[in-house]
């Protein structure tokens, strides 16, 4: 991991705060934050996180499942316990990946700015990067306190191979020119992978296979807990 030895212990306190203890030759770490409903997690999520980690030299990526995503308030999600367990099964002990239950523990609508502020307060020695798809970039100005989001973390913009360059100009009113340059330099390109949680749920409900779309452990969990079945 950048030729550095890290020892990480993640504790969730009674105040539902993620605290990271590190021993490292450097005084800071490059930490990617990946939010979403992950209902269910699939290989597209995992590959996106790994491309970000590798291309942007992140020391770790934290998957942060939302309690109630602001843009999905009308949809009933699987239980927090199910989504959390599927994420843990998906990463399968891979050291650079960690599942953080901060938003699930906090409950209510999960606003990115609240999560980044909490992480910033708890992890003062970490440089935060917020993983987001290029299609979400245009919507960023409509999020709660987008300028504060960009102050707390550098957007790490992911685009599909062969797609146009993302329109970074939407960040001009939200970030300094220096941080815009950092966002531009930390863009990530990944292969086109036609996977979505919506499609996985639909396939399960229709009795179709989801093999090779999500890790086998997650597939077995979905089967044994009868998730996404219509009856």
User: Is 11 within a domain?
Assistant: no
**Which of 190, 194, 151, 192 shows the shortest CA–CA distance to 171?**
151
User: Is 179 within a domain?
Assistant: yes
The 3-state secondary structure of the chain reads: CCCCCCCCEEEECCCCCEEEECCCCCCCEEEEEEEECCCCCCHHHHHHHHHHHHHCCCCEEEEEECCECHHHCCCCCCCHHHHHHHHHHHHCCCCCEEECCHHHHHCCECCHHHHHHHHHHHCCCEEEEEEEEHHHHCCHHHCCCHHHHHHHCEEEEEEECCCCCCCHHHHCCCCCHHHHHHHHHCCEEECCCCCCHHHHHHHHHCCCCCECCECHHHHHHHHHCCCCCCC
Q: Per the omega criterion (within 30 degrees of 0), is the bond before 40 cis? A: yes
User: Is 207 within a domain?
Assistant: yes
pLDDT at 231: 60
**Residue 32 is part of which domain span?**
28-224
The pLDDT tens digits of the residues spanning 106-131 come to 999 999 999 999 999 999 889 999 99
User: Is 3 within a domain?
Assistant: no
The pLDDT tens digits of the residues spanning 44-100 come to 999 999 999 999 999 999 999 999 999 877 788 999 999 999 999 999 989 999 999
The rounded distance, in Å, linking the Cα atoms of 195 and 27 is 38
pLDDT at 202: 97
User: Is 19 within a domain?
Assistant: no
User: Is 231 within a domain?
Assistant: no
pLDDT tops 70 at residue 223: yes
User: Is 4 within a domain?
Assistant: no
User: Is 171 within a domain?
Assistant: yes
pLDDT at 160: 87
Q: What percent of the chain has pLDDT over 70?
A: 88
Q: State both tokens at 209.
A: 């296979």
The total number of structural domains in the chain stands at: 1
CA 81, 6, 43, 72 dihedral sign is positive
The rounded distance, in Å, linking the Cα atoms of 181 and 186 is 9
> Residue 70: which CATH number?
3.40.50.620
Global confidence as pTM: 0.86
């Amino acid at each position: 991991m950048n030729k550095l030895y890290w020892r990480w212990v993640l504790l969730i306190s009674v105040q539902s705060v993620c605290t990271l203890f590190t021993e490292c030759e450097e005084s800071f770490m490059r930490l990617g934050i990946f939010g979403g409903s992950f209902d269910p997690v699939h290989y597209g999520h995992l590959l996106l996180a790994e491309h970000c980690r590798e291309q942007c030299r992140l020391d770790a990526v934290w998957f942060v499942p939302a309690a109630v995503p602001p843009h999905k308030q009308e949809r009933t999600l699987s239980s927090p316990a199910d989504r959390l367990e599927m994420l843990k099964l998906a990463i399968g002990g891979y050291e650079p990946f960690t599942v953080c239950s901060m938003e699930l523990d906090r409950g209510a609508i999960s606003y990115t700015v609240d999560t980044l502020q909490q992480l910033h307060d708890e992890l003062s020695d970490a440089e935060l990067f917020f993983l987001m798809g290029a299609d979400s970039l245009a919507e960023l100005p409509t999020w709660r306190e987008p300028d504060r989001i960009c102050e707390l973390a550098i957007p790490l913009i992911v685009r599909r191979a062969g797609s146009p360059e993302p329109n970074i100009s939407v960040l001009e009113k939200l970030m300094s020119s220096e941080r815009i340059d950092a966002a531009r330099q930390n863009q990530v390109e990944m292969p086109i992978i036609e996977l979505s949680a919506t499609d996985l749920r639909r396939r399960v409900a229709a009795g179709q296979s989801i093999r090779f779309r999500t890790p086998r452990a997650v597939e077995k969990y979905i089967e044994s807990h009868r998730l996404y079945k219509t009856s």
